[in-house]
Amino acid sequence: MSKNPVLWISRKLSDATLKRAHENYDVIVDMNDGTHKADEIVSMSSKVDAILPCHTEIFSAAVVARLNERVKIIANHSVGVDHCDLTALKARGIVVTNTPDVLSDATAEIAMLLLLGAARRAVEGDRLVRTGKWNFWSPSFMVGKQVSGQRVGIIGMGRVGQVVAERCRGFEMEVHYHNRKRLPDDLEKGAKFHENIESLLAVSNFLSLNCPATPQTEGLMNAKRFAQLPDGAVIVNTARGALIDEDALIAAIESGKLSAAGLDCFVTEPGGNPAFARYQNIFMLPHIGSATVETRDAMGFRALDNLDAYFSGREPVDRVA
């Protein structure tokens, strides 16, 4: 009989990740790639020693209270852990890890895609060509908002935010940021720190959200905050949908306070917000910030590194609870 720990992988991960997982664990994996609800998670917990979930599996306090005591570690395939009640998991003695560092480049690429696509009217332009309706040109045709040389505000100057800042510097943008604490000079790289969000918003022709979703940041961008942006600003969100009051975003689009928005995440996922489809100046992607082959492999391997450490008696590098 195998003495390997039993590991439940809740979603279909990369081939390289699954191959490595089978080397050291007795793996239960859902190759149908479905989302698992509370009762399924609780039922599976009696069969496994460890769980490697994605952000689609919700470990609320109610779910955690029902988990079987056999489960010792939850090694998330994500940086964000807002789907986990860390207090409840810690109280149960269940170790929780995440996968920082490895998805910063890929997510920053999507942030720049959204920023450029929103500013330069990519949805509208693509639709014109794709539907055969491009039959006109003039100097006033499809005029968008220039990115180069503009001011960008970044809320959340962690790993992803710092890479977004670096990419923006490539467009000679002036970088401003708000963070829980100011970065040291070698990481700040000339970016201008704002102690409060309000002063940052006032100068942000472009705004990138790169902070975690927490009870304190839920609805961070609401009607009051949108009103503090310069007229015609562009907002980009590659963090979590909960950061934005979506009704307030629509109101800001309709009033012209926002000239455009680029969104990779939504309050409701999957599916997004059907109301956004009415607006050609809202450029949307289906939460694919980290969706590259290289990054998916790296995320899976990072989660397995944390599992390997735990089951060999070492402290996981990426422990968050």
Rounded CA gap, 230 and 287, in Å? Answer: 27
Rounded CA gap, 316 and 252, in Å? Answer: 44
Is residue 269 annotated as part of the catalytic site, yes or no? yes
Rounded CA gap, 114 and 237, in Å? Answer: 8
Q: Which amino acid is at 252?
A: A
CA angle 164, 181, 192 (to 5 degrees): 55
Which is catalytic among the residues 40, 166, 174, 269?
A: 269
Sequence-distant (6+) residues with CB within 8 A of 197 are 155, 178, 220, 225
Residue (of 109, 5, 14) closest to 51 by Cα position: 5
Which is catalytic among the residues 240, 246, 296, 302?
A: 240
- Which DSSP symbol is given to 26? E
Q: Are 205 and 150 in contact (CB under 8 A)?
A: yes
Is residue 83 annotated as part of the catalytic site, yes or no? no
Which is catalytic among the residues 11, 159, 225, 287?
A: 287
Q: 50 vs 11, 63, 78, 306, 309, CA distance in Å?
A: 14, 15, 16, 11, 13
Is residue 23 annotated as part of the catalytic site, yes or no? no
CA 152 to centroid of chain Cα atoms: 19
The two three-digit tokens of residue 37, written as one number: 């609800």
The DSSP bridge partners found for residue 1 are none
Q: Are 237 and 244 in contact (CB under 8 A)?
A: yes
- Which DSSP symbol is given to 83? T
Q: 224 vs 107, 146, 196, 218, 233, CA distance in Å?
A: 28, 26, 14, 14, 15
Residue 285: Cβ within 10 Å count: 17
Q: Are 159 and 101 in contact (CB under 8 A)?
A: yes
> Could you list the active site residues?
240, 269, 287
